[in-house]
Chain A
Amino acid sequence: MYTDLDEQELARRCSQGDRLAEDELYKRYAARVYTLCRRYLGDDEEAKDLMQESLIQALDKIQTFNGSKGSLYVWISRIAINKALNQIKRKRWQTVSLDAWAPDTIPEPTEAEMETIPEEKLLEWISKLPDLRRAVFNLYCIDGYSHREIGKMLGISEKGSAGVLAKARKQLKEAIRRYLNGQES
């Protein structure tokens, strides 16, 4: 019965304290939110905690959800992203090795090459990025924020965001290239 509910109706029932509706919301979005949290935090346990916190907060504030402004997942994912960024900002940015500043001469992986890479591998490489690079890469490349927005969210300049993104791309390409060359299983 609850699996057939549209997002707005599901949100309405959740706002009324319907526990079954809350379970349905969890079943629909928990795994995707968990992936999002893994992308941003890079640690599975922290990601699990953050996913639960995000969903609890979403349920607490569900009466403020307006279906006309976007999907329920996008609304929940914004909560999760904000929480993830707060968590990242509370840590010190990880030290960046100097070789990462060298010019990017690594050839870009082709579409065919990318299709061979499993999602878990991509998540693993992203999780190994330093905090700031991981945040900027996720915000820009996957979640579609602009450098201006990223700058505001992370307290860095627009150019700084672009610079960090370049370094993140280079580091990811290195990992992808090593995998494609068979240097990493």
Chain B
Amino acid sequence: MNKWEDIVKDKLGGYESNLSEDSLAAFHARRASSDATKAKRFPLVWAIVPAIAAGLAAVLFLRKPTVPKDGIQIIPQPVETYSQVDESLDTATPPATAPLIAQAIQTKAVRSMPKAEPSEEPATTTVVEEIRIPEETPIPEKDDIGPEDTPEEPATDSRPAVPDSAPFVPQPSAEKPAVHFNLGTGGSIAAGGGLLAALATQLARADLRALVPGNHAIDGINSNDILEITLPHRMPLVIGLSLKFPVTEKIGVTTGLEYSLYSSSFSYPAEVQTQLVHYEVKTQLVHYLGVPVRLDWTFASSRWIDAYLGAGVKGDLCLGATLDGVAIGKDGPAFRLLGAGGIQFNATRNLSLFLEPEISWTVPSARRVLSTYSSEHPWMFTVATGVRINLGK
């Protein structure tokens, strides 16, 4: 060490700067507030656990609507067959069959059901209000049907014959009524970064199996009445690597690479038999690789936590798409506008954990042809969490 530096050391090593007279009082006040803060402090894990639980609850709550937006949900009721008819009874008045209960969602849903006699309990338009669909007059025994009673079947009707024991037979009609099942718009939260989204996706998949009426018999309903089922798109699974470059102390550019998996299921009536509806469900998987570029403004910063707001764009390039494992045409690129807020827990100088709610809008494009969660929901709300590498900090 040089001589002049030794002198600097001697001079400053023991130098006592002047402190204001009230510095001790200020120290007392600060120490008191520090003690108060410590008393309120609780382990971070206590906050993380409810936060994860709340996030999961939000995902589960929002991933599918509680009621179908537009449709009617058929609830099969136990059917009492009456193959053994009491001889003493008039065959024109067969035993009462179990009523068919439906949950009317909208009036037009009721319209799609087979026409019925006026009911004692009229259908209402109240959402999710149970209505009782009047019992159709069952087809009497063949021997008892006179020529004048026999309904005229349209020549074009190729539906399979309905067994005589069917308790509910819709009136044939030239215009086939269609009950549209639209199981909703799906959830609007996608948890980026894996765990939540993966869990939600798995739950959605499991739930889907329960919702699809494929391979289930629906007693009392002719399969021709159900022509179309639209299944909800699952929330995307997004996994990525995030990098943050500081521009100034408060402004930074966040970018990275994000892989997105969009999963959807489509059901097709594969086989129609009397009183038995078979649906084949095919799963579409679309893979995207995206690059977000966002300008972030850190409005609060401490040693451990940064809070920030940001806006930017994201480009998603389709890597490939499959339908039940068979490759189909790629989707066009997607461009999104992003707005985000976030909290970053700084584990080390260059490594942080972040929790980042983000809202994005997908720019409409004619080049995008595949039906995905993104195409159905231009506005998406994502809660991303993960590890961020802070460069140049």
**Which residues from chain A sit less than 8 Å from chain B, CB to CB?**
22-23, 26-27, 30-32, 34-35, 38-39, 48, 52, 55-56, 59, 86-87, 89-92, 108-111, 113-115, 117, 119, 122-123, 126, 141-142, 155, 169, 172-173, 176
What are the residues of chain A within 8 A of B34 when measuring CB–CB? Answer: 56
Q: Are B7 and A111 in contact (CB under 8 A)?
A: yes
Binds A, one of B14-22, B85-93, B153-161, B328-336: B14-22
Candidates B1, B5, B249, B349; contact of A89 at CB < 8 Å: B349
Q: Whole-angstrom distance from the CB of B29 to the nearest CB of chain A?
A: 10
What are the residues of chain B within 8 A of A27 when measuring CB–CB? Answer: 24
Count of A-B contacts judged by CB separation below 8 Å: 90
Q: Which of B7, B12, B31, B249 has the most CB of A within 10 A?
A: B12
Instruction: Please name the residue on chain B nearest to A115 by beta carbon.
Output: B7
A42 CA to B335 CA, complexed, in Å? 46
Q: Is the interface of A mostly helix, strand, loop or mixed?
A: helix
Candidates A32, A39, A55, A109; contact of B4 at CB < 8 Å: A109
A117 CA to B12 CA, complexed, in Å? 12
Q: Are A91 and B249 in contact (CB under 8 A)?
A: yes
What are the residues of chain B within 8 A of A59 when measuring CB–CB? Answer: 31
Q: How large is the interface on B (under 10, 10 to 19, 20 to 34, 35 or more residues)?
A: 20 to 34
A6 CA to B278 CA, complexed, in Å? 90
A11 CA to B216 CA, complexed, in Å? 78
Mark interface residues in B1-39 (1 if CB within 8 Å of A CB, else 0): 111110111011111111100011011001100100000
Q: Whole-angstrom distance from the CB of A33 to the nearest CB of chain B?
A: 9
Candidates B1, B3, B12, B248; contact of A119 at CB < 8 Å: B12
Q: Contacts A27-B24, A31-B18, A52-B26 hold; do A141 and B5 have CB atoms under 8 A apart?
A: yes
A64 CA to B49 CA, complexed, in Å? 32
A35 CA to B31 CA, complexed, in Å? 20
Question: Is B303 interfacial (CB-CB < 8 Å)?
Answer: yes
A109 CA to B30 CA, complexed, in Å? 42
Candidates B18, B27, B301; contact of A26 at CB < 8 Å: B27
Q: Are A86 and B303 in contact (CB under 8 A)?
A: yes
